[in-house]
Amino acid sequence: MKIEGKNYRTIWFENNEVKIIDQTKLPHKFVIKSLKNIKDAINAIKTMEVRGAPLIGATAAYGLVLSIIEKNDLSFLKKSSEDLISSRPTAINLKWAVDRMMKKLSGVNNSDILKIALDEAKSITEEDVKFCKNIGINGLKIIEEISKKKKDVVNILTHCNAGWLATIDWGTATSPIYHAHQKGIKVHIWVDETRPRNQGANLTSYELNEEKIPNTIITDNTGGILMQRGKIDMCIVGTDRTLSNGDVCNKIGTYLKALSAKDNNVPFYVALPSSTIDWNIKDHKQIPIEERNSEELSHVEGIDENNNLKRVRIYPQKSKSLNLAFDVTPAKLVTGLITEKGICEASEQGLKGLFK
């Protein structure tokens, strides 16, 4: 997708380095950063220079490429893979990508390993682009239907950033929106600010602006009244881990939005590539929910009148705070799952019908 009219992807390999768009600087500064070794890759994931389930999976895959360039040694590679998996706990794509890479590399000669690793990391990214594009083509049908019935602008609410910045291109939740816009369907997006890190305001609104899609940022508490007043036609969100029973784990606050959508008969869709399905965990209480530094709540960052990035504390110094990054929306609140293979019910039967 585009930034200032130029097409970008979120990650690419160039001159033995991995290039990323540093998302901690957006929307105020557009900075391309080079990851030169495994430590850089792990740090980029931990500090959220790259974030979003599919993108951290791709970064982990390229991280293993960097590990091989740094030291072509099996025990170093194993340690790199373990460190990558533990760099963020909730999104399953991280483990999925590392496991896929390690399977491909098992038993490979030292002389061939770099080429094979690079090819596999590239195919993980290319596959994600294809899958996200298909999610868009499939989800477009839902927006088209609402538009035909309503004969007016379709208002869609989204939470966090499940846009192209969270993937390699297109995004998951945003892909149907981009496809609808490209087809000339009038859409307007309600963008949840998504505290504490504001990925909605900082990233989703930014990328929609760059694609000239009308959008309005709202606080995370505003969706309820907008739904009660008929201002939201549908919700589309992403997911970091989808259980085989259709429960979805996504950015904190998604669950409350789904409850509100249910109470107001607003369709609530979750868009995902199959790389976010966890076929093993059966009970959502077993999903490791990331708890991040409470300073992400107590401090905010922004730009001052002189264009300088500033970070300020907004909480009383003595107050405690809890920063859980994700919550779980039970399948019963999900209208449907939009995947690369089609749309299905949020249930074991629905997912197995498409993927097994």
Q: Is 220 in the site for ligand MRU (CB under 6 A)?
A: no
Q: Is 10 in the site for ligand MRU (CB under 6 A)?
A: no
Q: What are phi and psi of 38, to 5 degrees?
A: -60, -35
- Give the C-alpha separation, 2 to 4, whole Å: 6
Three-state helix/strand/coil letters over 142-154: HHHHHHHHHCCCE
- Give the C-alpha separation, 109 to 106, whole Å: 9
Shortest reach from residue 53's CB to ligand MRU, in Å: 4
Q: Which of residues 85-124 bind ligand MRU (CB under 6 A)?
A: 91
Judged by CB under 6 A, which of 11, 33, 44, 51 binds ligand MRU?
Answer: 51
Please give the residue whose beta carbon sits closest to ligand MRU in the complex: 238
Shortest reach from residue 84's CB to ligand MRU, in Å: 15
Q: Is 239 in the site for ligand MRU (CB under 6 A)?
A: yes
Q: Is 155 in the site for ligand MRU (CB under 6 A)?
A: no
Tokens of 203: 């990233």
Judged by CB under 6 A, which of 20, 21, 33, 54 binds ligand MRU?
Answer: 54
Q: Is 200 in the site for ligand MRU (CB under 6 A)?
A: no
* Closest CA relative to residue 189, chosen from 165, 205, 175: 205
Q: Is 251 in the site for ligand MRU (CB under 6 A)?
A: yes
CB nearer to ligand MRU: give 207 or 240. Answer: 240
Q: Is 21 in the site for ligand MRU (CB under 6 A)?
A: no
Q: Are 325 and 255 a contacting pair, CB within 8 Å?
A: no
Catalytic residue, candidates 40, 169, 240, 327: 240
Q: Is 136 in the site for ligand MRU (CB under 6 A)?
A: no
Q: Are 267 and 234 a contacting pair, CB within 8 Å?
A: yes
Q: Is 240 in the site for ligand MRU (CB under 6 A)?
A: yes
Shortest reach from residue 279's CB to ligand MRU, in Å: 18
Q: Spell out the residues 6+ positions from residue 157 whose beta carbon is closer than 8 angstroms to its own.
A: 189, 190, 192, 223, 226, 227, 232, 234, 235, 236, 257
Stretch that binds ligand MRU, among 3-11, 211-219, 237-245, 295-303 (CB under 6 A): 237-245
The dihedral sign for the CA sequence 102, 104, 105, 107: positive
Q: Which of residues 172-191 bind ligand MRU (CB under 6 A)?
A: 172
Place of tokens 């930014």: 206
- Give the C-alpha separation, 210 to 190, whole Å: 16
Shortest reach from residue 45's CB to ligand MRU, in Å: 9
Q: Are 136 and 175 a contacting pair, CB within 8 Å?
A: yes
* Closest CA relative to residue 52, chosen from 236, 238, 197, 298: 238
The dihedral sign for the CA sequence 257, 258, 262, 265: positive
Q: Which residues bind ligand MRU (CB under 6 A)?
A: 51-54, 91, 160, 162, 166-167, 171-172, 199, 238-240, 250-251, 325
Residues forming the active site: 240
